[in-house]
Amino acid sequence: MKKFLVLALVASLAISSGTAAEPEPTPPESTAPLPISDKPFSEWSIGRTFTHLLRVVPSETPAHLRYAPEYIAQFEVLGGSPVPIPAPDQEVLTALLASSSAFGPLRPDRCKFRPGLSLRSGEGSTQQDLLICFACDEIAVVPAGGEISAIYSFDQPTRDILLNLSKKLLPDDEAIQELPPVRRDKAAPPPPAQPLPEPEDN
């Protein structure tokens, strides 16, 4: 009996001193899905008048370390007070945002969403911002104090209206004034370089 116990103990020690089991692989970090909404874009702006334009930039600063006076989602608001949109331009915007064809689903060739502007309607708990990215022609809906609720793409005629308004209201903003009339990846490529002529022999 003692011999059996000794053998069992030796076997147990041999097993415990063997190669440790490999740790389970760490699952990949999950990627938050884009906030794509099933409802048409126009339903977000029904009954709203967008009265101000704001200049924004992406912020990589964690939320608990942010110091700017105001953020829209994770995008920092630049400058002082929002720029008022004149009444005639508000009417143009209202018609555009109510259009069923101006905004649609995201394109498969979309780039990273990095807006530079925002349209604002309301204030306090009724506030709503529309972040605009001219690099990928996309617009995102942000409720008061919240994160992006939905994101859509827009077409060239819509870009024309939004870009012309932005340049009109921000005449001294060099970055906005330099935005091209069409999305950069849709612009015609430059002509091929021509070889330099051979120098003539004297």
| Residues contacting residue 94 through CB under 8 Å, at least 6 positions apart | 45, 48, 49, 50
Provide the residue ranges of all domains of the chain, joining segments of one domain with +.
Answer: 41-172
Alpha-carbon separation of residue 155 from 47, 100, 190 (angstroms) = 23, 12, 23
Q: Name the pLDDT band for 193 (thresholds 50, 70, 90).
A: low
Residue with tokens 């430059």: 190
pLDDT tens digits, 18-75: 444 444 433 333 334 566 778 899 999 888 999 999 999 877 666 667 677 888 988 9
* Bridge partners (DSSP) listed for residue 56: 77
Q: Where are the alpha helices (DSSP H) in the chain?
A: 2-16, 87-97, 156-169, 174-177
Asked if pLDDT for residue 141 goes beyond 60, the answer is yes
Other beta carbons within 10 Å of 118: 24
Determine the pLDDT at residue 28: 33
Determine the pLDDT at residue 198: 64
Comparing 163 with 185, the larger pLDDT belongs to: 163
- Rounded Cα gap, residues 194 and 31, in angstroms: 46
Mean pLDDT, rounded, for 74-85: 87
Determine the pLDDT at residue 183: 85
The pTM for the full model equals 0.74
Determine the pLDDT at residue 17: 46
| Residues contacting residue 53 through CB under 8 Å, at least 6 positions apart | 82, 83, 85, 117, 118, 119, 120, 165, 166, 169, 170
The CATH classification number of 41-172 equals 3.30.1490
Determine the pLDDT at residue 195: 58
* Bridge partners (DSSP) listed for residue 58: 75
Mean pLDDT, rounded, for 1-26: 44
Asked if pLDDT for residue 103 goes beyond 60, the answer is yes
Mean pLDDT, rounded, for 94-104: 93
- The length of the chain in residues reads 202
- In this structure, what are the phi and psi dihedrals at residue 129, rounded to the nearest 5 degrees? -115, 145
Mean pLDDT, rounded, for 88-107: 93
